[in-house]
């Protein structure tokens, strides 16, 4: 499976955030670093698809005191996710190799 742009950016956000890689934080990281404005549902759909492909996995984080609602799902890349992300990086670098702006 080849990774789309949003999938790659989401996986990179997950790695940057480490233990804080949950939906809203990933959304904020995508905006802050990549300038990508996406909705939380879009982030969730992307994460679910990545998890279905085995590129990320999630765990339920311990709930903070006083925090209401559901516990946060925290994501991390799997070894397969790291491989897919690296393959995407190498593929893009190959495409850029030799490209010269006219």
Which domains occur in the chain, in start order?
5-96 (1.10.10.10)
**Between 2 and 57, where is the model more confident?**
57
- The pTM score is 0.88
Residues of 66-83 as b/e, b for ≥16 C-beta within 10 angstroms? Answer: eeeeeebebbebbeebee
CA distance 80 to 14: 14
Q: What is the pLDDT of residues 56-95, one digit of tens each?
A: 999 998 776 666 667 789 999 999 999 999 999 999 999 9
CA distance 11 to 7: 6
CB 5 within 8 A of CB 30: no
Residue 85: CB atoms within 10 A of its CB come to: 19
């Amino acid at each position: 499976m080849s990774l789309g742009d949003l999938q790659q950016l989401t996986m990179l956000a997950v790695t940057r955030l480490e233990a804080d890689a949950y939906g809203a934080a990933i959304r904020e990281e995508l905006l802050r670093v990549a300038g990508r404005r996406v909705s939380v549902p879009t982030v969730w759909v992307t994460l679910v698809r990545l998890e279905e492909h085995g590129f990320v996995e999630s765990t339920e984080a311990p709930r903070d005191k006083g925090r209401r609602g559901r516990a946060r799902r925290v994501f991390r890349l799997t070894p397969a996710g790291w491989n897919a992300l690296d393959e995407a990086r190498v593929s893009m670098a190959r495409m850029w190799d030799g490209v010269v702006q006219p």
